[in-house]
Amino acid sequence: MDFVNAIILLLNYIFVPALAYGSQLALGAIFVTLIYGILRFANFATGDMMSFGTMFVILFTFYFQSVGISLGVLPTALLAIPFGIIFMVGYMLVIDKLVFKYYRTNKSPPVQLAMVSIGVMFVTQAVVRVIIGPSDRRFFDGEKFLIKAGEFKEMTGLNEGLAIKSTQVITIIVTLILVSTLFWFLNKTKTGKSMRAYSDNEDLALLSGIDPKKIVMITWVIAGILATIGGALYGLDKSFKPFTYFNNMLPIFAAAIVGGIGNPFGAFLGGYVIAFSEILLTYAYRKFFMYVLPESMEPDGLIQLLSTDYKFAVSFSILVIVLLYRPSGIFKGKVL
Amino acid sequence: MRKNLNVIAAYSIMMGLIILVGIFQSWNIALSIFNLCLISAVMTMGANIQWGYAGLINFGIMGFTALGGLAAVLISVDPVQEAWSAGGFNIIFSLLLIIAMVLAVRYILKNYKKSKNRTYIVAAIIILGIVILRFISEPGIEAIEGVDPAKTGFLGGLGLPIIFSWIVGAFFAGGLAFVIGKVALGLRADYLAIATLLISEIVIAIIKHEDWLTRGVKNVIGLKRPAPYEVNLQQTDWFISLVEKFNSSKLNLITDLTERQSALNQLVIEGSSVFVKLCYSGLFLVVVIILLILTQKALYSPWGRMMRAIRDNEEAANAMGKNVVKQHLLIFVLGSAIVGIAGAMLVTQDGLFTPGSYRPLRYTFLIWVMVIIGGSGNNFGAILGGFVVWFLWIEAAPIGLYLVNLTTAGLDDTHFLKVHLIESVPYFRFLMMGVGLLVIMRYRPKGILPEKIEIK
């Protein structure tokens, strides 16, 4: 019995939250990796672009709530996401036309594009803050828990409860659907294949008649979808605050590089690697050992590898280690 | 003279703007803008050495700034005796242990061939070392943080004048840069940018949460000053007579004695804070000028020529027998050390160390905007960038307010759009920076004062 309790404990505090957080990171990381692979620059505006999309999702959610449209047990935001995506994709295409296109056609070095993306970051940040303000916003409605800790305890008669938030389930399901569709698109359709060809070797792709304008546009559309959904899911699960989104850029970058930048599958797994290691290394295992070990060997301390203050630092340290020993990432991405 | 005309013109316009702020807003604001411009100028010089001279991207400026600030704390704060007696032994022992660990790993890496066994042994040493380290340091840290946590709760510093920290800050930042450089400089440009950005976040995390060393988010306040305190100044005779002399024409108009006295008191209070800021300006100006002379000399020396050669064509420079890796490391360390000086100067001026305030937007990206807008590769350009961008950063809110009022003049004062826009005036600075950066990168990619290389 104790052993089952220990497993439930780990599931409740590590596995489920890490899976949800990892999914959110994974979407962001695929966004980064797509832009890196096809448009060939590190996009420092990642976090702010995500907050831009989420902002529209929130605005539409508020609008739907005010007219009384809702999805019942599901959050209204799910209904608002497509509208958010439309605005987001529009914004990205405008930004591309006004800003990035010039450098792309001039074949500027990637560093210059990265610098330009910092300018975009500042502008996007200002736009988001002017429209919706810098404060913390919650836009979740509907049923909060799928399984409550108390109900679970009653149901199974265990000491430990397992609480599963509906946002966590939604996050994981939506991510799985989205990512599998994306991989199907990239691997099976003609457009997807031409995107991969363009990413692999631009000149060769151009020679074989692939239209770069189309590729770039589709990349922005996909990126817009990923950024909006990733941002909205994160906002549903936690809360929306422009500053947090800006900061999320860092673990997202870490996930993309750990997985092998330019490799969408690597980015997908990288998200989970980062999320799990952050939570595994900063969790206090005291209770777990109390269940598993006999009473005489019970630990005194918290049995915590690192204090939770270093949550962010964990993912960055992993990144540094990966860069040192396997610079192309776990799943070979572009070689540095 | 003629060819430097644009430099002189740009700087005179900048000075004119600051003086205008002094006349229309107040001299206090003008001087605080000027001081922070000077500090920003030091930071941009550091970033410019790395980016402009050698083409190295360093997005870790925030980390080096914070380390400089930490140096200011560790140098100037008086040592906390109780904390040292409570946990000093454990901390020193832990430090020795870390040094022993590093030396052991180095010894093994040097003297044994690469093999699986070697990797395992190194990993074992590191893991074992960390476990022992935690056992030794934890009680010490707890004891230190338990010493009067509302006031101290940390080890304190050396109790030396804070000016020394400017040099120590440079060494701290340079030391960190050496480690980062060894690890990360082999990476391609954009990876280096991301890696340094993330490493600087780690540095901030450590400074924020190692309370025994830095007091963490509890902040360190009331650092010693290299300049006199306002309160003391207001009571010194020579200062009062100085203020009197400066404002004699204004004061002579007032005939009533008590009124004259109260007017004088007011002027003394205002004058004291202006005087203190002027002291800082003097100190900072000395640093900026020294650094400018040194960097200018370096730029036109054979070494500067070599750096440009490396920047423009790494392979060719390598083929000519220049040690690219070594020079990159050197310049990374030098540039970061200069940023460290700026970090110490910043904390010196504020008189407080707040680890929570170090954010990448303000301390990394803004500095980059300064370098790019000013003109990378040109020291005068970089400094000008620091001035222009900081000036706009501060004055963006008033300018934004003016613009909002102008564009919404037709609307009612309580109109929701107008109220909303006026509330969001503080964020216009982001917009201004972003648009400024994009416009400069597009239409004047070399910055306001572009790099000019003359062969002497």
Is A335 inside a domain boundary? Answer: no
Picking from B188, B196, B198, B367 by the largest number of A CB atoms within 10 A of its own CB, the best residue to mutate is B198
Q: Which residues of A touch B197 (CB under 8 A)?
A: 250, 253
Query: By the 8 A CB rule, do A215 and A198 touch?
Result: yes
Picking from A41, A316, A321, A322 by the largest number of B CB atoms within 10 A of its own CB, the best residue to mutate is A316
Is A336 inside a domain boundary? Answer: no
pLDDT at A125: 93
**Cα–Cα separations (whole angstroms), residue B293 to A254, B286, B298, B340, B380:** 40, 11, 9, 18, 11
Counting every residue written for chain B, the total comes to 456
Mark yes or no for CB contact A122/B369 under 8 Å: yes
For chain B, give the longest Cα–Cα distance.
Answer: 92
B184 or A235, higher pLDDT: A235
- Option in A44, A99, A316 nearest B202 (CB): A316
**Cα–Cα separations (whole angstroms), residue B62 to A325, B173, B188, B197:** 26, 11, 21, 8
Whether the predicted pLDDT of B385 surpasses 70: yes
Q: What is the pLDDT of residues A68-103, one digit of tens each?
A: 888 878 888 899 999 999 999 999 999 999 999 999
Is A152 inside a domain boundary? Answer: yes
Cα separation of A46 and A35, whole Å?
10
Q: What is the pLDDT of residues B73-85, one digit of tens each?
A: 999 988 888 888 8
Cα separation of B297 and B253, whole Å?
53
Is the dihedral angle over the CA atoms A34, A39, A40, A41 positive or is it negative? negative
Cα angle vertex B449, ends B444, B452, to 5°? 105
Whether the predicted pLDDT of A336 surpasses 90: no
Q: What is the pLDDT of residues B221-271, one digit of tens each?
A: 888 888 888 888 888 888 888 888 887 777 777 778 888 888 888 888 888
Q: B238 lies in which domain range?
A: 2-79+156-443
CATH number for the domain spanning A235: value is 1.10.3470
Which pTM was predicted?
0.90
Nearest residue to B136 (alpha-carbon basis) of B164, B95, B103, B101: B95
Nearest CA-CA distance, residue A156 and chain B, Å: 38
Nearest residue to B203 (alpha-carbon basis) of B364, B402, B52: B364
Is B402 inside a domain boundary? Answer: yes
Cα separation of B165 and B219, whole Å?
18
* Residue partners of B390: CB distance under 8 A and separation at least 6: B33, B36, B37, B40, B370
**What percentage of chain A exceeds 90 in pLDDT?**
48
Whether the predicted pLDDT of A9 surpasses 70: yes
- Classify residue B393 as exposed, middle or buried by CB count within 10 Å of its CB (0-12, 13-18, 19+): buried
Of B168-182, B188-202, B323-337, least confident by mean pLDDT is B188-202
pLDDT at A157: 77
pLDDT at A332: 67
Q: What is the mean pLDDT of residues A304-309?
A: 75
ipTM: 0.89
> Could you tell me which residues of chain A have a Cβ less than 8 Å from any Cβ in chain B?
41-42, 44, 99, 102, 109-112, 114-116, 118-127, 129-130, 133-134, 246, 250, 253-254, 257, 307, 309-310, 312-313, 316-317, 319-320, 323-324, 327, 336
Confidence of residue A333 (pLDDT cuts 50, 70, 90): low
pLDDT at B333: 96
- Classify residue B441 as exposed, middle or buried by CB count within 10 Å of its CB (0-12, 13-18, 19+): buried
Q: Residue B456 corresponds to which tokens in the numbers above?
A: 């002497």
pLDDT at B454: 60
Q: What is the pLDDT of residues A111-159, one digit of tens each?
A: 889 999 999 999 999 999 999 988 898 888 888 888 888 888 888 777 7
Cα separation of A86 and B221, whole Å?
49
Q: What is the pLDDT of residues A194-207, one digit of tens each?
A: 998 898 888 888 89
Half-sphere exposure of B281 (CA within 13 A, CB side): 16
**What percentage of chain A exceeds 70 in pLDDT?**
97
Is B20 inside a domain boundary? Answer: yes
Is A280 inside a domain boundary? Answer: yes
Is B279 inside a domain boundary? Answer: yes
Q: Which residues pair with A240 in a beta bridge?
A: A137
Q: Residue B183 corresponds to which tokens in the numbers above?
A: 């690890």
Q: Give me the phi and psi of B455, to 5 degrees please.
A: -90, 120
A29 or B244, higher pLDDT: A29
Whether the predicted pLDDT of A31 surpasses 70: yes
Confidence of residue B133 (pLDDT cuts 50, 70, 90): confident
Q: Which residues pair with A282 in a beta bridge?
A: none
Is A334 inside a domain boundary? Answer: no
Picking from B188, B191, B422 by the largest number of A CB atoms within 10 A of its own CB, the best residue to mutate is B191
Q: Which residues of A touch B194 (CB under 8 A)?
A: 42, 253, 257
Cα separation of B291 and B39, whole Å?
12
Nearest residue to A84 (alpha-carbon basis) of A113, A34, A49, A35: A49
Cα separation of B23 and B20, whole Å?
5
Confidence of residue A29 (pLDDT cuts 50, 70, 90): very high
Is A333 inside a domain boundary? Answer: no
pLDDT at A170: 92
Contacts across the A-B interface (CB distance below 8 Å): 124
Q: A101 lies in which domain range?
A: 2-325
**Cα–Cα separations (whole angstroms), residue A49 to A117, A248, A259:** 11, 11, 21
Q: Which residue blocks in B210-323 are alpha helix, DSSP H? A: 211-214, 230-233, 237-246, 248-252, 257-299, 302-312, 314-319
Is A213 inside a domain boundary? Answer: yes
Counting every residue written for chain A, the total comes to 336
Three-state DSSP class for B371? helix
Nearest residue to A146 (alpha-carbon basis) of A12, A282, A24: A12
Confidence of residue B453 (pLDDT cuts 50, 70, 90): low
Q: What is the mean pLDDT of residues B297-307?
A: 90
| Reduced DSSP (H G I as helix, E B as strand, rest coil) percent helix, strand, coil of chain B, to 5 | 80, 0, 20
| Domains held by chain B: number | 1
| Domains held by chain A: number | 1
Q: What mean pLDDT, rounded, does chain B reach?
A: 88
Q: What is the pLDDT of residues B26-47, one digit of tens each?
A: 888 999 999 999 999 999 999 9
Of A313-317, B119-123, B348-352, B378-382, least confident by mean pLDDT is A313-317
Confidence of residue A335 (pLDDT cuts 50, 70, 90): very low
